[in-house]
Amino acid sequence: MTTKLYCMGESGNAYKAALALELGGLEWEPVYVDFFGGETRTPEFRKINVMGEVPVLVDGDTTLTQSGVMQMYITEKTGKFGGKTPEEQREVMRWVFWDNHKLSSQVGMARFLMNFLPEDKRPAEVIAFTQGRLKAAYASLNDHLEGRDWIVGDAITNADLSCCGYLFYPEPFGFERKDWPHIDRWLSNIENTPGWKHPYDLMPGSPADRA
């Protein structure tokens, strides 16, 4: 049975799951969710995910929410991306948790406020505060990646798939790859991984569709 991922191209969290599915070699199909049209707030969607969020992964009788849980599930099915030793597995989870708290949550907010709200509704002070927090996160990741091809171990893991989730998006949110050379090199490693696709090529839905 084909795994379904309820998602939209603009969602970096959905991209984390979609990229794991794609690079994991699993048979899957995206199901477009019209977030900007209010679909996640409908009673029908709440039957799929009571939290009213994307992504949602449905694999037969298994329904999962939260991208980190989906990555764990994909690792269980494929044996990929989880780390090769117990020590690496713990380190992968450490970086997934770090990303969810320090990086993706902040990037997602900044990108939304800067690009998907009307200009007169964009809170400048909130954006500036968020970007200050993001600079600290970028510095932590950039320093960690000095001399490393991957965040954990010698191969791509869920740590990489989680932390890269928002960093390939073209909309401005205060991140310039050239300013962070170790992150830039690491993102190139991900881009050069066989099967890699940009989020707007991997999932349906992009700002251009609403232009």
Residues 47-106: tens digit of each pLDDT: 999 999 999 999 999 999 999 999 999 999 999 999 999 999 999 999 999 999 999 999
> 67 with 153, same domain?
no
> 90 with 64, same domain?
no
Residue 186: its pLDDT value, please?
99
Mean pLDDT of the chain, nearest integer: 97
CATH code, domain carrying 206: 3.40.30.10
> 54 with 131, same domain?
no
The model's confidence at residue 210, banded by pLDDT at 50, 70 and 90, is confident
Is the predicted pLDDT of residue 183 greater than 90, yes or no? yes
Spatial distance between the Cα atoms of 48 and 52, rounded to a whole number of angstroms: 8
> 19 with 64, same domain?
yes
Does the reported pTM lie above 0.95?
yes
> 118 with 185, same domain?
yes
Distances in whole angstroms, Cα of residue 21 to Cα of each of 46, 111, 124, 202: 24, 24, 37, 10
> 74 with 106, same domain?
no
State whether residue 24 is helix, strand or coil: coil
Residue 82: its pLDDT value, please?
98
Is the predicted pLDDT of residue 1 greater than 90, yes or no? no
The model's confidence at residue 7, banded by pLDDT at 50, 70 and 90, is very high
91 token code pair: 């380190």
Residue 89: its pLDDT value, please?
98
> 127 with 173, same domain?
yes
Q: What is the dihedral of CA 146, 21, 18, 153, to 10 degrees?
A: -10
CATH code, domain carrying 123: 1.20.1050.10
Taking only the tens place, the pLDDT of each residue in 26-47 is 999 999 999 999 999 999 999 9
> Rounded mean pLDDT of 103-127?
96
Distances in whole angstroms, Cα of residue 47 to Cα of each of 20, 43, 53, 73: 25, 6, 11, 21
**Owning domain of residue 107:** 86-191
> Rounded mean pLDDT of 138-153?
98
> 66 with 138, same domain?
no
> 155 with 97, same domain?
yes
> Rounded mean pLDDT of 151-161?
98
Domain total in the chain: 2
